[in-house]
Structure 1
Amino acid sequence: MEQEFWHQRWAENQIGFHRDSVHPMLMAYWSALNPRLDEEVLVPLCGKSIDLNWLAERHERVVGVELSDIAVRAFFSENLYTPQVYTAPSGHTHYCFDELELISGDFFTARLQPAPLIYDRAALVAMPPSMRQQYVDRVTSLLAPGGRMLLVTLFYPQSDDHPPFSMDEQLVRQTYQGMKVTLLDTCTEPCGERGEQVWLIQAAE
């Protein structure tokens, strides 16, 4: 989506995608990545997710990237953290507190190092079809050799062109062709037409 769309959503506090609790699929399936304490975690389009706290309790370094500075500042304010703040030559603002570093600005232009672990709960599904491949190319370029990503997607009968975008199993596998793609679990609502899926995406060694 256009950046202005997301800036407006955060400015108007229209953030129905934000969860007030740690995502259960993260807690249940993070271990499938065989993560180590010393492995860095990258979280694209992180918002103010408290999943960041959960990851920071288990890793020495967690880096989130978020377009909206409102979201980043809200994360630190709501968690009563006082970060160190600096602006990089790229124009991105970095907020650092203990294991956490949140980068405010465009994910596509942020200067990032490849990470062994990536967590995507709401990034891929936020991308319209016209931007999906650009996002996938970017995120897979940031997955270190042998790296692992935990991906959470949604599926439902979509009748509009607004996020979150529905991603069925075939589309996920097509989107990440060239990677090792493993479906870990599907959680379906009683109607059977809506639900979430959690995936393990692995890069070649």
Structure 2
Amino acid sequence: MIDPEFWHNKWASNSIGFHLEDVNPLLVQYWPSTKPTREDKVFVPLCGKSEDLVWLATKHEDVQGVELSNIAVRAFFAEHFYTPMVMPINGHTELFQFDELSIYVGDYFSAPIKPVDIVYDRAALVAMPAEMREQYIARLKNLLNPGARILLVTLDYQQDEMVGPPFSVPESEVMHHFSEFKVTKLYRDEANETHPKIAKQGLTRFAEEVYLIEA
């Protein structure tokens, strides 16, 4: 199991190779597959300081995120020149709120996230080691309103060839975890021999996948 200190140290040392400087093009391309409406409540688990939050907030009136690192959340608001209201929720959680955005700084498993209609998971499930994924998904399912949708981005590689995170979550595991849902694979990008994960780390395969999961 990955200790919370692992992620605190990543942000403290600015070792954030997982952070994208721009909006994820996969979000832009496949968000319409969720059939979103402006009124749909959106949740982004383990959101970091993602630019995706800003993009989603232009399209929805209620976007929630949760992030373990106070450094990441303060950086997000500072970099966008937003001045959020900051409210202590309990001894372990703070809520940063600005217009459509509500970001909880604290533990995903205990933050008081409100039920939602759409989840966008680019960096959460793949950040969880295998022994934590069942618990992560159980919590996620408890946050879903009837008819909710999940846009899930995963990675597929030979796990014994590279130490995560990010971890490999192959299609068979996605189907297992969401067996009671309708699962549609929307995309698979198979890396070629010039990709750094293949060329430099010598992986047998490396692919990014996108799923639409419908309750």
Q: Please name the residue that 1:37 is paired with.
A: 38
Following superposition of structure 1 onto structure 2, how do residues 38-57 of structure 1 map, counting pairs within 5 Å? 38-57=39-58
Q: Please name the residue that 2:199 is paired with.
A: none
Q: 2:44 touches 2:119 (CA, 8 Å); kept in 1?
A: yes
**Aligned to 1:194, which of 200, 206, 210?**
206
**Aligned to 2:179, which of 177, 180, 185?**
177
**Cα RMSD (Å):** 1.2
Q: 2:116 touches 2:143 (CA, 8 Å); kept in 1?
A: yes
Q: Within 1, Cα distance between the matches of 2:163 and 2:132?
A: 13
Q: Percent identity?
A: 50
Q: Within 2, Cα distance between the matches of 1:61 and 1:188?
A: 34
Q: Please name the residue that 1:98 is paired with.
A: 99
More displaced 10-residue stretch of structure 1: 145-154 or 190-199: 190-199
What is the identity, as a one-letter code, of the residue corresponding to 1:194?
Answer: F
Q: Which runs of 5+ in 1 are unaligned?
A: none
The TM-score with structure 1 as length reference comes to 0.95
Are residue 143 (structure 1) and residue 144 (structure 2) matched? Answer: yes
Q: Within 2, Cα distance between the matches of 1:114 and 1:35?
A: 16
Are residue 157 (structure 1) and residue 163 (structure 2) matched? Answer: no
Q: 1:64 touches 1:101 (CA, 8 Å); kept in 2?
A: yes
More displaced 10-residue stretch of structure 1: 183-192 or 125-134: 183-192
The TM-score with structure 2 as length reference comes to 0.91
Q: Which runs of 5+ in 2 are unaligned?
A: 194-203
Q: Within 1, Cα distance between the matches of 2:112 and 2:28?
A: 29
Are residue 64 (structure 1) and residue 91 (structure 2) matched? Answer: no
Q: Please name the residue that 2:112 is paired with.
A: 111
Q: 1:43 touches 1:118 (CA, 8 Å); kept in 2?
A: yes
Paired residues, what number?
203
Q: What stretches of structure 1 move > 4 A for 4+ residues in a row?
A: none
Q: Within 2, Cα distance between the matches of 1:86 and 1:42?
A: 19
More displaced 10-residue stretch of structure 1: 168-177 or 40-49: 168-177
SS in 1 for 2:110: coil
Q: 1:90 touches 1:111 (CA, 8 Å); kept in 2?
A: no
SS in 1 for 2:53: helix
Shift of 1:26: 0.4
Q: 1:116 touches 1:148 (CA, 8 Å); kept in 2?
A: yes
Shift of 1:90: 5.7
SS in 2 for 1:43: strand
Q: 2:64 touches 2:113 (CA, 8 Å); kept in 1?
A: no
